[in-house]
Amino acid sequence: MTTSPPRTTRRATPAKEARVPAARGRPRRQLDDSADRRDLILDAAESLFCVHGFHGVTVRQVATEAGVDPALLNYYFTSKRGLFDAVLLRRAEVVNTQRARSMDRYESSTAEMTVEGCLQAFFEPVLTLWESGGDGWRNYLRLIALVNSTPSWGGQAMTQYFDPVIHKLIGLLREVLPEAHAEDLFWCYHFVSGALSLSFADTGRIDNLSGGLCRSNDVAAVRKRLAYFLAAGTTQLCQRMAKTRD
């Protein structure tokens, strides 16, 4: 208990980069797990980080939730931070290529684009994932919402994926609202982003506030209302600011 068997001096395992499964020597399938342990860990981490944030979760909690040894997290992801980043990046490309495609499709198939149409093309793919992407996607979007409103987040890896589609949206809006000032379009996105984030955050706040009249995870209720609200806000902001000396 107190005294321990003699330990030799520490020597690191040779490779210190995050472990990505190689083709050779990798077991194809676990005995009874349908998914890879690596993915199990990511799922567990996702479900915990999205509720409590990075600092509110311990690697031991993630390990327990995933049903694996804590050391395995470091084996695959090098560090707790590495795990967190891996969770963020896992679905980042998927969601954003879907959004990019959605906007491309809208742009090329529509003769007369509208503000509402652009915004819908921007967020409809995400709503769909939220609605029918399973718990994984729901947790992921919650996590993104949390990260999006956390100041201390210096996530440059994320902007790499998210910024292009945002600029694409702003580009579309610029065509529909040619008289709008550039900065006003950015401010519109700012407000859009805030409303979207809070919706995905799924805090249950509106449930309490409305005495059960509204449910914060009611995708169908959010869908139409978001479109109406954001489109009108964007249009009016830009039009009224365009008339202003400022």
Q: Which residues of the shown chain bind a second copy in the complex (CB under 8 A)?
A: 50-56, 142, 145-146, 148-153, 159, 163, 166-167, 182-184, 186-191, 193-199, 201-206, 208-210, 213-214, 216, 221-222, 224-226, 228-237, 240-241, 244
CB atoms within 10 A of CB 172: 22
Write down the least CB distance from residue 12 to a second copy, Å.
28
Compare residues 54 and 200 and give the one whose CB is closer to DNA.
54
CB 102 within 8 A of CB 90: no
Compare residues 75 and 191 and give the one whose CB is closer to DNA.
75
Work out what residue 132 binds among a second copy, DNA, none; the CB cut-off runs from 5 to 8 Å by kind.
Answer: none
Question: CA–CA distance from 209 to each of 196, 203, 206, 225 (Å)?
Answer: 18, 11, 5, 18
Write down the least CB distance from residue 77 to a second copy, Å.
20
Compare residues 72 and 222 and give the one whose CB is closer to DNA.
72
Write down the least CB distance from residue 199 to a second copy, Å.
7
Distance of CA 37 to the CA centre of its chain: 22
Angle between the N-to-C axes of helices 134-148 and 182-201, in degrees from 0 to 180, rounded to the nearest 10:
130
CB-facing half-sphere around the CA of 7: CA atoms within 13 A: 5
Residue corresponding to tokens 């996105």: 189
Distance of CA 54 to the CA centre of its chain: 14
Work out what residue 234 binds among a second copy, DNA, none; the CB cut-off runs from 5 to 8 Å by kind.
Answer: a second copy
Q: What are phi and psi of 240, to 5 degrees?
A: -70, -35
Compare residues 40 and 127 and give the one whose CB is closer to DNA.
40
Work out what residue 245 binds among DNA, a second copy, none; the CB cut-off runs from 5 to 8 Å by kind.
Answer: none
Task: State how far the Cα of 33 lies from the Cα of 187, in Å rounded to an integer.
Answer: 47
Write down the least CB distance from residue 35 to a second copy, Å.
25
CB 112 within 8 A of CB 56: no
Residue corresponding to tokens 């990798």: 26
Write down the least CB distance from residue 28 to a second copy, Å.
37
Work out what residue 160 binds among a second copy, DNA, none; the CB cut-off runs from 5 to 8 Å by kind.
Answer: none
Angle between the N-to-C axes of helices 59-66 and 37-52, in degrees from 0 to 180, rounded to the nearest 10:
130
Work out what residue 150 binds among a second copy, DNA, none; the CB cut-off runs from 5 to 8 Å by kind.
Answer: a second copy
For residue 19, the 8-state DSSP code is P
The residues binding DNA (CB under 7 A) are 4-5, 7-13, 19, 21-31, 37-38, 57-61, 68-75, 78-81
Write down the least CB distance from residue 57 to DNA, Å.
7
Residue corresponding to tokens 């993630």: 62
Work out what residue 171 binds among DNA, a second copy, none; the CB cut-off runs from 5 to 8 Å by kind.
Answer: none
Write down the least CB distance from residue 27 to DNA, Å.
3
